[in-house]
Amino acid sequence: MIGIFTRFPRIQARPASWAIRSCAVACAAAAAMACSALAAWPASAAAGGVPPNPVWESSAPFGSWTNDGYVLYNNEWNTSQAGPQTIWADSFHHWGVSSDQAANTAVKTYPCVQQNYDNVKVTSLSYLRSAFSQSMPKAPRLDAEAAYDIWLNNYNVEVMVWVDNHRQTPAGHVVAHVKIYGQLFALYRNGDSFYSFKIVKRHETSGRAHLLSTLDWLLRHGYIGSSDTLTQVDFGWEIASTVGRPMDFTVTRYWLATGFGKD
């Protein structure tokens, strides 16, 4: 278990200020190692592509589809570097992407499922929790992570919860280690408006996320304020590199529940 309904949808592309999550490996080194990694990839890393006859699919960089109040969003937000990506969905519970991203460490896309809120106060929430089952490619040079992305104050504050990480490092520096519902997270801070809870020493392909617990911790420790409001909750993958070949990412279960009335 990861420790830590419906409004008119609004689509928010990730801003360019978050364009690069730096890794220790330089872009040139990553590109050089890609050639040798290609030959060594297991068969399980090969992309099967978009499944036959999905209810919806799009290769448009910002293609979107609304299903039961949620928005499925291709979100190739780093337009100067993003490669081809196709999103498909049968519902907000079951969807995925086939993504082909070059071998460098800049995050290029964040395909996701979105839920929008009318900037309700965080302190008014009695719960904000979610469950997921997701799969990422088994490839040694994959550079990506599965994460929740929580936007506050009309997209001015960002809080991420990383649940499955392959070679990515959050922006900023570690300011605390936080245990929530038995899970240990490293909390990274980048300025006064960007926080990332990165799960420590684990890769979760499925679980339940107590998202309000992360916001409550930030509130108790003075990182966000009692007047801060909830704008959007997303779940998907930040994809930096598939080493120049298509790879498949899939969600097979997802829900998000919100309780109001605490404040």
Find out whether 129 and 232 touch, Cβ atoms under 8 Å: no
- Is residue 118 in a domain? yes
Residue 236 has pLDDT above 80, yes or no: yes
pTM as predicted: 0.84
- Is residue 233 in a domain? yes
Per-residue confidence (pLDDT) for residue 263, from 0 to 100: 52
The percent helix, strand, coil of the chain (3-state, each to 5) is 15, 45, 40
Query: Which residue range forms the structural domain that includes residue 173?
Result: 59-260
Identify the CA nearest to 138 among candidates 240, 33, 249.
Answer: 249
Number of domains in the chain: 1
- Is residue 31 in a domain? no
- Is residue 11 in a domain? no
> Average pLDDT of the chain?
85
Strands 173-180 and 183-189, by their bridges, are: antiparallel
The pLDDT tens digits for 128-158 are: 999 999 999 988 889 999 999 999 999 999 9
Per-residue confidence (pLDDT) for residue 62, from 0 to 100: 98
Identify the CA nearest to 69 among candidates 98, 38, 93, 40.
Answer: 93
In CATH, what number is assigned to the domain containing residue 199?
A: 2.60.120.180
- Is residue 239 in a domain? yes
Q: How confident is the model at residue 29 (pLDDT cuts 50, 70, 90)?
A: very low
**AA letter at 251:** V
Residue 27 has pLDDT above 60, yes or no: no
The pLDDT tens digits for 59-87 are: 999 999 999 999 999 999 999 999 999 99
Q: Per-residue pLDDT averaged across 233-260, rounded? A: 97
- Is residue 130 in a domain? yes
Per-residue confidence (pLDDT) for residue 138, from 0 to 100: 87
Q: How confident is the model at residue 261 (pLDDT cuts 50, 70, 90)?
A: confident
- Is residue 256 in a domain? yes
Residue 42 has pLDDT above 60, yes or no: no
**What percent of the chain is predicted at pLDDT more than 70?**
81
- Is residue 2 in a domain? no
Q: How confident is the model at residue 54 (pLDDT cuts 50, 70, 90)?
A: very high
What 3-state DSSP class applies to 6?
Answer: coil
Task: Compute the CA torsion angle 212, 218, 219, 222 (nearest 10 deg).
Answer: 180
